[in-house]
Each structure stands twice: as structure tokens, then as C-alpha cells.
Amino acid sequence: MSMTSETEERMTSKVDMDSPDEANGGDLGESVPLKKGPWTSAEDVILVDYVMTHGEGNWNAVQRHSGLARCGKSCRLRWANHLRPDLKKGAFTPEEEQRIVELHAKMGNKWARMAVELPGRTDNEIKNYWNTRIKRRQRAGLPIYPPDISFLVSQNKQNEELGAFSSADAQNSDVLGINNFEIPAVEFKKLELNHLLYPPQLADIPARSLLNDPVSNFLAQGHRAPYSSTYFLSTTYPSKRIRGSESVLSGSNGDLLNSLQYQNDGSLLAQPLGFSSYSHNLTYDDNRSFSSVVPGGHAYLNGNSSSEPTWAMKLELPSLQNQTENWGSPHSALPSLDSVDILIQSPPAGHSESGSLSPSNSGLLDAVLHESQTMKASHDNSHQGNETSGVTVNNSCPDLKGWDGHPISPLSQFSASVFSEYTPISESSLHEFLSMTTMPGCKIKQEIGDLAPLDEEDDTSNQTIFSSPKTQHANNHLASKDALISCFFDDCAWDCKQIHAVATSSGQASGHNSCSWDAMSAV
DNA sequence: AATGCAGTCAACCGCTACTAC
DNA sequence: GGTAGTAGCGGTTGACTGCAT
């Protein structure tokens, strides 16, 4: 947001001068009231000067030493989000946007950790971008994640579900909660990250930043020296403190810092970055495409916005550390979830006729069967003859558009529908549901190539490669649910096409057949 | 031109984790 | 082990901007 000096001053005049805020770490010994609201240019200069002299940290001392009438928290925030010289200014690039989506699919609302992966970007920036994006897409009735990401999210969920089956496996889980099953290797061929690191370029910085930004001028006037060489390597960002069990990623900071160098002019010199913090699941292949396993799974939030909620339930999306601590353990309770508001309707009365399901499948799976069968009946009545290559294409919601205008995945629709139509929802049940629908080792990967090829665009835009887990346990788990899968996949032809694209592009067929593609495609 | 609305952004707030004593 | 101080994170708020009516 650009702000002229006049505007700045005008705003400043409106800023309340609050009394020292004890809760915010204000200096109780000072009589100077702490100021709130937008920072002025003069304040910025004072703060920058202070950091040049004293370094970062001890933010509450800023007021004492510089006379700046700001609380420590405010100073830290101002520095971290606006004044530190390694910040990248300007709009997110498409690559960064793609990266954010991908990171969010993996991490949930862990903005600080996402910021570590996006050098020069702040958690606040990313958070604002994401929230804006969510709002925009929800309004448009688009899914939060693109289909390939959504698929990977659900794919990951099933791996976590598998991990919960075996305490032995859980004990062997690595620090990030990836169990020792053979995790499907997923390649985001589409996600070229050739420019993952963006050295700040003057061209990227708004003119205001160069001409009117007092800090830029300040730095330009000879205050850069302290930032030269390794000054920031030891003191500055990304230096986000990793909370609690997130410390398993502690290598991230160091590795990242080791990949960054500041030049004498204060600009950031980018070096090849190996992402060693996620080296076990994030890699570059020879084509510099991005390979990832998505360990975190998230609810489909795309929008069945027409469903009026009867009550709201706050769910948290799983984060890595939570998976480690909870998901892999057979003694664990429900997994912790990141904050996502999901509006869920109360279940229809008397919805418990599916007594054939196991107790663990009660509730949501009943709902799955019920809705799937209902939808199937509906399709049979109104959409007969929509079969292509043995796959029934769901056209029941022709107006809904998915990622980049693609029709919304029936899987996504279905998931959203499940979320919106039935409640209370059990996270474990959801995982089980997703596990069944996307279980690796499923015959999908072997026989899917028999389907008609997708159009060229799909082939190139959703190239995702899976390998199969060698998990007999999973296969046994799967085998008992063919019937459910066959019902479900009637409504998932679209996602089957995605799977098809995956299988076609990968050329890696699994030898583990535990559920019948025929059963799914023939319904 | 005036008004309303949505989008964007900076900043604040509440909370938690870490550290030192 | 308890407490206070500090740092950091994530959610929320409010001001500004741009566009549509």
C-alpha cells in the first residue's frame, strides 16, 4: 500500500497516544505514552538507526535508548515486516503464489514457516495474501487448492492414516511425521521454481520505496555498512523461532541462512538453495521441477457455499509436528488441526441405516455411502449416457468451476458436501474416507492407463507422479472397502481423470492390486 | 460528484514458548 | 518448580484505495 507523506502525517495525527501498555511489554518506567498506529518516516529512521547501532533484539529497550514512543512489539514488527533490508517488495510473483499454495497444502496456517521458504517475504505478507485469496476463491466458488494439490493433500492424509495402523511403524516415524511406509513420491512438475530466490531488484521495488522511502534513502546515505557481509547472517531473518516440536526444522534456518549472502550494498545475493530442511520430501530433479510429498492434509473448503450452516465448527488443519506427535501413534487422540473454519450442517435425522459398516466407519462413512448412493441415483436419472471411456462424468454441477476455471472436482464437491451436509464429523473418519478414495497401491495406477488420454493441457498442467507404497497392511485395509469405493468413484470421475493423468505421465504402475478399478469405472 | 463496497495492507492483540533468575 | 521478561506467531481489526453504481 502506497502512502504519501501527507497521508502518513494525516494518519499520524489521528493516532492515539496510549498509555504504556503493560500487556504489550511497554516500559512501565517511562512516562512517555506509547504510540499506536501507522509509523512515520521519522520513526522508521529512528528504529533503523537503533538497529544499526545495537542490532536486533531487546526490542523493549528501543524506547529507552532511542526515545521512540513505541512498544517493543511494535518495533519488532515494524522492523521485521518493513524495515529489514532483505525484504522483497512488490506483488507476489506467480511462482511465489504457486509456492504459497503448495506450502499451505503442506503446512497449513504456519505463516512463519512458509515465510522461511519464501525469502524476502514476511509471514504477514503471506498471511494477507492467503486470506485474500481464500476470500476471493470462496466467493467465486472455487476450490482452495488446485485439483492436483487437493489430490495430494488427500493422498497424504491416507499415508498418515496408514501410519496410525501400526505402532511399530509409528515408532519408526521420522521427525516430520512421515511414517516408514513408502511414501508416494510426488513431483510438482508444473511447479517450476527456477526463480525460487529472488534477489531484491530495484525493478521490483515500487518507485515510492526508492524515492520516498525514508529508510531506502537512509540506507542510501551511507548507513548500509553494518549490513554488509555476514552481518545479517548471524542476526537477521529468516530467524523465525521455531516453536516447540517445530524445532525439528531447526536446520531450515541455518541452511537457509547459509544459502544467503548479503552484498555490500545490502542486497540479497541468492545462492542455490537445496531446501535441506525438507530434503527428505522436497527435492529438485534434473529438470528443476519441484518434488514434494505433502505430509499435511487439509479439508476441502471449496465451496458449497450455498449450504447454509446450522452451526460452525472450528477445525485445525494438521501440521507436521502434530502428525509426528499424534497421528503416528495408535494411542493418539484426534489429530490437531490448523485453524480452518468449516461450516457444517447438522446431520439429517435418522441417518444411520448403514449398519453394515464397521463401527469405526460409523458416521461419516454412513454419510459417504448415503450421499454417494443418492447422487448415483440422481445421476442415473438425469445424466445417463455421460460415460466416456467407461467413466461416468459427473455433470451434475456444470456451473461450478474449479481451479483456473476447470470444473470443480467431484471429489472436492463431494468432500465439501460431506463437510457441509453431515455432522458431527470425525477427523479420523475423514482420514479413513480419504484413505479409501486415494489409497496408494490401488489398481487405479495400473489400469488407469487404459482410459482415454486426457487432453494435452491436462497432461501438462497436472503432472504428478506417484509411486506405490509396499504396504500389505494398506492393501488389506483397502480390500474390504471396494464396495464403498465403487460407489464413491461414480462421483469421482473427474478426479479419476486426474489420477489418470498421474498414471499416464508417470508410467509407474503399481503391482499392488487391492481394489478394482473396473468396479469403479464400470459403475 | 457522491456513495457504497470489496480488496489490500499495516498494525494491533492475545496467546504461547523460551529463557534467565 | 515458579515467576517475570522477552520474542515470536497467528488471528483480527481498521484505514486507505480503487472500482462500480
Last residue of a domain, one of A83, A98, A120: A83
* Residue A102 belongs to some domain of the structure: no
Q: Which nucleotide's C1' atom has the smallest distance to the CA of A62? A: C6
Across all residues in chain A, what is the average pLDDT?
A: 47
Give the residue among A492, A319, A338 at the shortest CA–CA distance from A417. A492
Question: How many Cβ atoms from other residues are within 10 Å of residue A272's Cβ?
Answer: 8
Q: Which residue is nearest to nucleotide B10 (CA to C1')?
A: A38
Q: What is the pLDDT of residue A12?
A: 39
Percent of chain A residues topping a pLDDT of 90: 0
Q: Do A185 and A201 belong together in one domain?
A: no
Answer yes or no: is A216 within a domain.
yes
Report which residue is nearest nucleotide C6 when distances run from CA to C1'.
A58
Nucleotides of B under 7 A from a protein CB: 6-14, 16-18
**Residue carrying the nine cell digits 485474500:** A132
Q: Domain boundary at A239, A272, A305, which?
A: A272
Nucleotide nearest A241 (Cα, C1'): C8
For the beta carbon of residue A356, count every other beta carbon within 10 angstroms. Answer: 9
Residue in A489, A518, A305, A494 with CA at minimum distance from that of residue A395: A494
Cα separation, A278 vs A231, whole angstroms: 26
At A108 the pLDDT is: 81
Note the CA–C1' distance, A138 to B6, in angstroms: 14
Distance of CA A57 to the CA centre of its chain: 30
pLDDT at A127: 86
pLDDT on residue A40: 86
A241 touches strand B (CB under 7 A): yes
Nearest protein residue to nucleotide C8, judged by CA and C1' positions: A241
Query: Does residue A286 sit within a domain?
Result: no
Give yes or no: residues A311 and A376 share one domain.
yes
Do A510 and A442 share a domain, yes or no? Answer: yes
| Contact flag, residue A33 CB and nucleic strand B, below 7 A | no
Tally of CA atoms within 13 A in the half-sphere of A376 that contains its CB: 18
How confident is the model at residue A156, as a pLDDT? 58
Contact A485, A376 (CB under 8 A): no
For the cut 50, the answer to whether the pLDDT of residue A310 exceeds it is no
Q: Is the CB of A92 under 7 A from strand B?
A: no
Q: Is the CB of A110 under 7 A from strand C?
A: yes
- Rounded mean pLDDT, A433-452: 34
Residues 12-31 of A with CB under 7 A from strand B: 18, 21, 23-24
pLDDT at A157: 54
Whether residue A38 sits in one domain with residue A13: yes
Question: Number of folded domains in chain A?
Answer: 3
Has residue A281 been placed in a domain? Answer: no
Give A241-263 pLDDT, tens digit per residue.
Answer: 444 333 333 333 333 333 333 33
Q: Residue A135 falls within a domain, yes or no?
A: no
Q: Is the pLDDT of residue A469 over 60?
A: no
Mark whether A27 and A165 lie in a shared domain: no
The answer to whether residue A324 scores a pLDDT higher than 50 is: no
Cell numbers placing A328 = 503416528
Chain A 28..87 CB hits on strand C (< 7 A): 56-61, 72-73, 76
Indicate if A188 and A204 belong to the same structural domain: no
Q: What CA–CA distance (Å, rounded) separates A449 from A504?
A: 6
Distance of C1' in C15 from CA in A408, Å: 36
Confidence band (pLDDT; 50, 70, 90) for A131? confident
Q: Using the CB atom, is residue A240 less than 7 Å from strand C?
A: yes
Question: A284 in a domain, yes or no?
Answer: no
Whole-number pLDDT of residue A158: 58
* CA dist A82 → A1, A38, A78, A216, A266 (Å): 12, 12, 6, 11, 15
161-180 of chain A touching strand B, CB 7 A cut-off:
none
Residue A54, Cα to own-chain centre: how many angstroms?
Answer: 36
**Looking at per-residue confidence, does A433 or A155 come out higher?**
A155
A260 and A315 in one domain? Answer: no
Measured CA to CA, the distance from residue A242 to residue A48 in angstroms comes to 25
Whether residue A71 is predicted with pLDDT greater than 70 in this model: the reply is: yes
Q: Which domain holds residue A74?
A: 5-83
Does the CB of A314 sit below 7 A from strand C?
no
CB atoms within 10 A of CB A34: 23
Q: Report pLDDT for A132.
A: 80
> What pLDDT was estimated at residue A521?
36
pLDDT band at residue A164 under the 50/70/90 scheme: very low
A220 and A154 share one domain: no
Q: Is residue A282 part of a domain?
A: no
Do A512 and A481 sit in the same domain of this protein?
A: yes
Q: Spell out which residues of A between 62 and 91 contact strand B, using CB within 7 Å.
A: 70, 73-74, 77-78, 81-82, 91
Average pLDDT over residues A281-293: 34
Is there contact between A136 and strand B, defined as CB under 7 Å from any strand atom?
Answer: yes
For residue A267, is it within any domain? yes
User: What angle, rounded to 10 degrees, do the helices at A410-421 and A427-438 form?
Assistant: 160
pLDDT, tens digit, 9 for 90 and up, residues A169-208: 333 333 333 333 233 333 333 333 333 333 333 333 333 3
The CATH number of the domain where A27 resides is what?
1.10.10.60
Do A470 and A512 contact (CB within 8 A), yes or no?
A: yes
Task: State if pTM tops 0.85.
Answer: no
Residue A474 backbone dihedrals phi, psi, to 5 degrees? -65, -40
| A178 lies in the same domain as A319 | yes
C-alpha cell, A275: 531446501
Q: Which of residues 331-360 of A touch strand C (CB under 7 A)?
A: 338-339
More confidently predicted of A48 and A160: A48
Residues A224 and A373 in one domain: no
Bases of chain C within 7 A of a CB of the protein: 5-12, 15-18
pLDDT in tens, A343-360: 333 333 333 333 333 333
- Residues A428 and A462 occupy one common structural domain: yes
Binned at pLDDT 50, 70 and 90, residue A44 comes out as: confident
Average pLDDT (A505-518) is 36
pLDDT for the residue A57: 79
Q: What are the DSSP E strand ranges found in A317-386?
A: 340-344
**Does residue A125 approach strand C to less than 7 Å at its CB?**
no
